[in-house]
Chain A
Amino acid sequence: MKWEVVIGLEVHAQLATQSKIFSGAATAYGALPNTQACAIDLGMPGVLPVLNEEALHMALKFGLAVNAHLSHESVFARKNYFYPDLPKGYQISQYEIPVVGRGHLDITLDDGTVKRIGITRAHLEEDAGKSLHEDFQGMTGIDLNRAGTPLLEIVSEPDMRSSNEAVAYLKTLHTLVRYLGICDGNMQEGSFRCDANVSVRLKGAEKLGTRCELKNINSFRFVERAINYEVERQIDVLENGGTIAQETRLYDADANTTRTMRSKEEANDYRYFPDPDLLPVCVNEELIARIKTTLPELPQEKRDRFMQHYGLNAYDANVLSSARELAQYFEAVVDVGVDPKLSANWVMGELLAALNKENLAIDESPIPPAALGQLLQRITDNTISGKIAKTVFAHMWLNEGSADEIIEKQGLKQVTDTGAIEKIIDEIIANNPQQLADYKGGKEKLFAFFVGQAMKATQGKANPQQLNDLLKEKLQKA
């Protein structure tokens, strides 16, 4: 392909504060319309903004995590434009001097290589409300609950060269903000939103092509699709001798296309100027040092430690470090004294599958890590087999008791008495002369048949290794 794709992303992360960035109204999602919009959020006459301390601290946390330059004095500016979900007729944002300056984020690509993506800046601003276009007496309804929710707008350099890289960057960023506890990352609810600046140029060209800004891409899958569609569209236009118009385009997930956004057609003149209601925001070294002490172990550090300390492979370490709560759960299981690899298998396998099935988060798991640890210990000490453990797990999931209680109550303890197993094997061989003859005649696959019969007879409680050994011996002799 002769075209090179150039992508930069602008991510709006809603900061997980209790109250809004400039008012004391709640930020919780899903409230009835306009029940969380106070006089300040509504832009009533005479009201004034005061900055939420936590929002600033969260922005600084992010800045530290991406090794960014932090502004010692940042300035809030007004971005002036009229829109019904923007109550004051301006959005309070940061323009010339953002709180977080240049930084970077390393992403790991599918082939395992690490690529560094530049972060241009991250600035604090207030979210707008929502326009509801369902028909209200033929009109648009405005809900201002979201107005004033703190946002951190994270702007990347145009460093990505494919939709895959864009998704990898977005996922890494998504993991990071959740790790830092500054954003819940919920894309459906809009707390983590992404706009993509996409352009194409001939390979080797220095000058960037004209870019289009894609809006409304609210899932990782859509980011990939929207970019791919847009890239094809732009290449198509260029190859047919056309030119790309710089514009804002809306991604339509249903049709998988992008289209010009009508409301943004007119060239805006935002008339930025410093907000006279807010003063310069000062950040000193002492505050930065204090915020630094609150930083958790970051995803990459954790992944590396999981590989080195627990001997996990890159895939497992990646999955288990993808969310802070998951990593915590995993480590709590290991702390019970369980082999890390066994813990990893169970957490990533049985546990995540069960959680996904019921749409539960890891911290909502009905089985706490210590309980899972006890179960896994019973595998290690040969009390039960791995297979029986799955049965025990299912009972534990239903809150029927601890692993030990369930094993005891249901008599699931492994049969390790050689005499008892031998007796059962003898009976099976005696009852199945035909199969025995076939097996002897070379149908070795029938070994599994005898294992199955024995497991059935012991209700799965026979120690698998022991059973295998004894069965082989008996069939040999028979």
Chain B
Amino acid sequence: MSITKEQVDKIAHLARLALTEEEAHAYATQLENIFNLVTVLQQADTAEVRPMAHPMDAKQRLRPDVITEGNEREVMQAIAPLTDMGLYLVPQVIE
């Protein structure tokens, strides 16, 4: 299969990665090679097979509706890049 540079650009944008021209070309080739590896999957007969999302056949456990966490703002924001008045700051967002 072939992967175009346009596809690479689109994926990079979805993943919020900025790629240089060279990087985009390199990824196009590398992804192509990797997907050639993956083509063997297409030959597998999976018509009657249920997809498997988890290795164990377990069910979701539920936690009681109890407040267990207090105010940890100070410790959490001690490692934040930029805050003001308890808020995380990002460049202006326009809705």
Interface residues of A (CB under 8 A from B): 17-19, 23-26, 32-40, 42, 44, 50-56, 75-76, 82, 84, 131-133, 136-144, 250, 261-263, 269, 271, 274, 276, 278-282
B88 touches A84 (CB 8 A): yes
Which of A39, A133, A274 is in CB contact (< 8 Å) with B72? A39
A51 touches B71 (CB 8 A): no
B93 touches A84 (CB 8 A): yes
Q: Which of B25-33, B40-48, B58-66 contacts A (4 or more CB under 8 A)?
A: B58-66
Q: B71: which A residues are within 8 A, CB to CB?
A: 35-36
Question: Whole-angstrom distance between the alpha carbons of A39 and B65 in the complex?
Answer: 17
Q: Evaluate whether A263 and B94 lie within 8 angstroms (CB atoms) in the complex, with A37-B76, A274-B53 already known.
A: yes
Q: A24: which B residues are within 8 A, CB to CB?
A: 63, 66-69
Taking A18-B65, A34-B88, A84-B93 as given, write out 8 further A-B residue pairs in contact, using a Cβ cutoff of 8 Å, ordered by the A residue number: A19-B68, A33-B87, A34-B76, A54-B64, A75-B53, A139-B89, A139-B92, A142-B87
Question: Whole-angstrom distance between the alpha carbons of A88 and B58 in the complex?
Answer: 24
Which of B62, B77, B85, B87 is in CB contact (< 8 Å) with A51? B62
Q: Which residue of B lies closest to A282 (CB)?
A: B59
Question: Whole-angstrom distance between the alpha carbons of A25 and B85 in the complex?
Answer: 20
Question: Whole-angstrom distance between the alpha carbons of A362 and B68 in the complex?
Answer: 32
Question: Whole-angstrom distance between the alpha carbons of A100 and B88 in the complex?
Answer: 35
Question: Whole-angstrom distance between the alpha carbons of A313 and B85 in the complex?
Answer: 55
Chain A binding site: helix, strand, loop or mixed by DSSP? loop
Q: Which residue of A lies closest to B65 (CB)?
A: A54
Interface residues of B (CB under 8 A from A): 14, 16, 53-54, 58-69, 71-73, 76-77, 82, 84-95
B65 touches A37 (CB 8 A): no
Q: Evaluate whether A35 and B86 lie within 8 angstroms (CB atoms) in the complex, with A131-B93, A263-B94 already known.
A: yes
Q: Evaluate whether A281 and B84 lie within 8 angstroms (CB atoms) in the complex, with A34-B77, A140-B91 already known.
A: no
CB distance from B75 to the nearest CB of A (A): 9
Question: Whole-angstrom distance between the alpha carbons of A468 and B65 in the complex?
Answer: 63
Q: Evaluate whether A33 and B85 lie within 8 angstroms (CB atoms) in the complex, with A53-B62, A53-B64 already known.
A: yes
Question: Whole-angstrom distance between the alpha carbons of A269 and B15 in the complex?
Answer: 11
Q: Which residue of B lies closest to A140 (CB)?
A: B93
Q: Which residue of B lies closest to A132 (CB)?
A: B87
Question: Whole-angstrom distance between the alpha carbons of A26 and B66 in the complex?
Answer: 8
Q: B64: which A residues are within 8 A, CB to CB?
A: 53-54
Q: Which residue of A lies closest to B77 (CB)?
A: A34
Q: Evaluate whether A133 and B73 lie within 8 angstroms (CB atoms) in the complex, with A34-B86, A142-B87 already known.
A: no
B72 touches A281 (CB 8 A): no
7 residue pairs A–B, Cβ–Cβ below 8 Å: A36-B71, A51-B61, A131-B93, A137-B84, A139-B92, A263-B93, A281-B60
